[in-house]
Amino acid sequence: MKPTKILFVCLGNICRSPAAEGVMKSLAKGFPIEIQSAGTAGYHIGELPDIRMRSHSHKRGYELVSRAQQFDPLIHFEMFDHIIAMDGNNLRDLKSMDQHKKYQHKLSLMIDYSQIMNVKEVPDPYYGGPAGFEHVLDILEDACAGLLKKLKAG
Ligand code: 4NP
């Protein structure tokens, strides 16, 4: 079976989307899936995820080892089956990079897959405290489980 290719996208690719990548890789073990993450901005290209995100994730059993990359419309729209944005700004930016409106069907928001958490987006934890990182992980665990369920249902 050909693996489903998923790209999680946030702004910096050092907090939310690498955490989504780590959570989903752990949940989807054994399921034919390929997962990466990217940022709409290039501030942190090549960096490991933020130490705070790595530490909060580690406590829940997720090791975040990806290196930040910037979303490239010339490569990533074609490469991935599902491109999943963390917040409304990320989604808007992705939509605007799809100049010929060819890939809109691949785009969605992470919270579209939420099952329990009733939130509007995965909020940026970068300028906040520890509770923000825990909140992000709560949202991601719930939504990644929902996403996997959807993928398994076909
Ligand atoms: P992320 O968080 O989009 O979840 O990776 C951020 C990381 C860095 C910055 C903003 C948000 N920054 O402005 O550098």
16 as an active site residue: the answer is yes
Q: Measured between alpha carbons, how far is 90 from 154 in angstroms, rounded to an integer?
A: 26
> Residue 77 maps to which CATH number?
3.40.50.2300
Residues 6+ apart with CB under 8 A from 140: 16, 19, 20, 23, 110, 122
**Ligand 1 atom with the shortest distance to the CA of 17:** 4
Residues in the chain: 154
pTM: 0.98
Strand-pair partners of 61:
none
Give the range of the structural domain holding residue 140, as residue numbers without chain letter: 4-153
Q: Which amino acid is at 1?
A: M
Q: Measured between alpha carbons, how far is 54 from 18 in angstroms, rounded to an integer?
A: 9
Among 126, 127, 139, 140, say which to mutate for ligand 1: greatest number of ligand atoms within 8 Å of CB: 126
In the block, which residue shows the tokens 């994730």?
57
Residue by residue, pLDDT tens for the chain (154 residues) are: 799 999 999 999 999 999 999 999 999 999 999 999 999 999 999 999 999 999 999 999 999 999 999 999 999 999 999 999 999 999 999 999 999 999 999 999 999 999 999 999 999 999 999 999 999 999 999 999 999 999 999 8
- Written as six digits, the tokens of 2 are 């050909």
Domain tally, the chain: 1
| Residue nearest atom 6 of ligand 1, based on CA coordinates | 12
52 as an active site residue: the answer is no
